[in-house]
Amino acid sequence: MPAPFFPTTRFTAATAPGALPLLGHAAALLRRPHAFVAGLPAHGDLVRLRLGPLRAYVVCHPELVRRMLTEDRVFDKGGPLVDKAREVFGNGLATCPAAAHRRRRRMLQPAFHRDRLPGYAALMTEEIAAATASWRDGDVIDVPAAMYRLTTAVTARCLFAAHERAGSLPVHESMDVVTRGVARRVLLPPGADRLPTPGNRRFRRAQRCLREITRRLIADYRATGTDHRDLLSTLLAARDEDGRSLSDAEVHEQVVTFLLAGMETTAATLSWAWTLLAANPAVRARLHTELDTVLDGRPARHEDLPALPLTARIVSETLRLYPPPWILSRTATADTELGGHRVPAGTTLLYSPYLLHRRADLFPRPHRFDPDRWLTAARPAPGVYTPFGLGARRCIGDAFGTTEAVLALATIAARWTVAPTPGRAVRPTRSSSLAPRPFTATLTHRVR
Ligand code: HEM
């Protein structure tokens, strides 16, 4: 067999320091994942890691990240986490390989078309107001749990607007158990997800319940043929270029994909925003001025968005400091090169929005919460600011998620001060999602 030909390879990627025998860099990644990854650019644009038996490259330079994410057939969705996620919930839009992706993405894109947003936003406004209606002055809430309940309610409503019980307990509970269960299962050793443990039984029960709910809804929607202007209606109306629609199983797969991709990410963004606002009273005061002027205490609506630029900048800056999917992977499908480095077929490559967003050469004083850095008209070069990824696999729900976050932040901050309980630093979980660990906050009703 001829030797692989790498015409432009010049360099050998540096290996990150601190590898242990057998474990390699897995120990450092488990102990202090974010600091470890953020420190890698000091060792090169492409840095080699050893994670037990797996070799992987971390792509540290924004231009190389751009190339990798835009050449999606050479650098396809893959890597151990994606492979496991495929096993658990199939070949939905987020996990399918590039070969199947174009058709799917074209079919699903109309569900997230700009014209659909005002309709979803109207449902968001209602659900955000309902989720916070029972809050009382002086209440102490678990912030991440409350934000997760809120984004669950919003997602359920936007998926199944016509389901009069969309907000009912079985839907929410099953969504919660399934989304968290998938995340946990991705980390389990092979076979452990089939053991008859209470957790596994609960997961399968919830999966059945969600499948049954979507099955019934699909049948209802198909029978009446009404467009409810929700995500499920658009999934059912989707056609490929040959006029073929998605099967019921594929619709279900997409529903679960949207739940998984949308609930935790937006909830984490909102939770971090409350910690950042609490630590930055000057920004919070300016936010209150914006909200008092525009909303005067009422819930935020879609038409308010152009008048809430500071709220939007706070969301952008929160996503910069705490991008929820903070480390993501690709697999090289052919022998190739990246930045002059040889990349053999089958190599796992990682990119980290967290790493890029904390580079001092890309964002001056990178650890500082400064929403006004987004006032400048110049947009960062592609590959620099990547909370939603880039290229063909860029988040399909980016405008949906940002709209939800801005409406929720505005509606809540207009009426409440959310003050995290002092004395304990809020720490991130150690998973592939950069979400805060549980923390409590006291709600104070704002009297204007
Ligand atoms: C603040 C909120 C959100 C953030 C930060 C976020 C982030 C991301 C990122 C980084 C990716 C790209 C992954 C990669 O490069 O491998 C992605 C993909 C995706 N996201 Fe989001 N997301 C958010 C909200 C949502 C929402 C609300 C939905 C749906 C309702 C959604 C659905 C998806 C889907 C389906 C994909 C896969 C797209 C594809 O491969 O074509 N996301 N998201």
Centroid of ligand 1 to alpha carbon of 9 (angstroms): 33
Task: Indicate the Cα dihedral angle 376, 382, 388, 393, nearest 10°.
Answer: 160
| 3-class DSSP state of 55 | strand
Backbone angles phi and psi of 242, in degrees to 5: -95, 10
Count of CB atoms situated within 10 Å of the CB of 149: 17
Which amino acid residue places its CA nearest to atom 21 of ligand 1?
A: 395
Mean pLDDT rounded to a whole number for the chain: 89
Q: List pLDDT tens digits, range 167-220.
A: 455 667 777 777 777 666 666 666 777 888 888 898 888 888 878 888 888 888
Task: Report the helix count and the strand count for the chain, using DSSP H and E.
Answer: 15, 11
- Does ligand 1 lie within 6 Å of residue 265's CB atom? yes
266 lines ligand 1 (CB under 6 A): yes
Q: Which residues contact 209 (CB under 8 A, 6 or more apart)?
A: 170, 173, 174
- What pLDDT, on a 0 to 100 scale, did the predictor assign at position 298? 95
390 lines ligand 1 (CB under 6 A): no
Beta-strand relationship, 416-420 and 336-338 = unpaired
What is the model's pLDDT at position 120? 95
356 lines ligand 1 (CB under 6 A): no
400 lines ligand 1 (CB under 6 A): yes
Closest ligand 1 atom, CA of 390? 15
| CA atoms of 61 and 58, how far apart (whole Å) | 9
**Residues 326, 352 contacting (CB under 8 angstroms):** yes
Is the confidence at residue 2, as pLDDT, over 50?
Answer: no
- pLDDT (0 to 100) of residue 5: 46
Regarding the beta carbon of 257 and ligand 1, being less than 6 Å apart is answered: yes
Q: Is the CB of 395 under 6 A from ligand 1?
A: yes
Closest CA to 348 of 52, 75, 64: 75
Measured distance CA(101)–CA(93) in Å, rounded: 7
Task: Measure 372 CA to ligand 1 centroid, in angstroms.
Answer: 25
pLDDT tens profile 31-80? 889 999 999 999 999 999 988 888 899 999 999 999 999 999 999 999 87
Residue 11: pLDDT band (50, 70, 90) is low
CA of residue 94 to ligand 1 center, whole Å: 8
Percent of the chain at pLDDT > 90 equals 63
Q: Is the predicted pLDDT of residue 4 greater than 60, yes or no?
A: no
**Position 30 pLDDT exceeds 60:** yes
- What region does 32 belong to: left with phi over 0, alpha with psi -120 to 50, or beta? beta
Tell whether ligand 1 has an atom less than 6 A from the beta carbon of residue 36: no
- The tens digit of pLDDT for each residue in 256-302 reads 888 888 888 999 999 999 999 999 999 999 999 999 999 988 999 99
Is the pLDDT score of 352 beyond 70?
Answer: yes
| Residue of minimum CA distance from atom 37 in ligand 1 | 94
d(CA 196, CA 181): 14
Q: From the CA of 325, how far away is ligand 1's center (Å)?
A: 9
Name the residue at shortest CA distance from atom 27 of ligand 1.
262
What pLDDT is recorded for position 221? 86
Ligand 1 center to 56 CA (angstroms): 23
End-to-end CA distance of the chain: 77
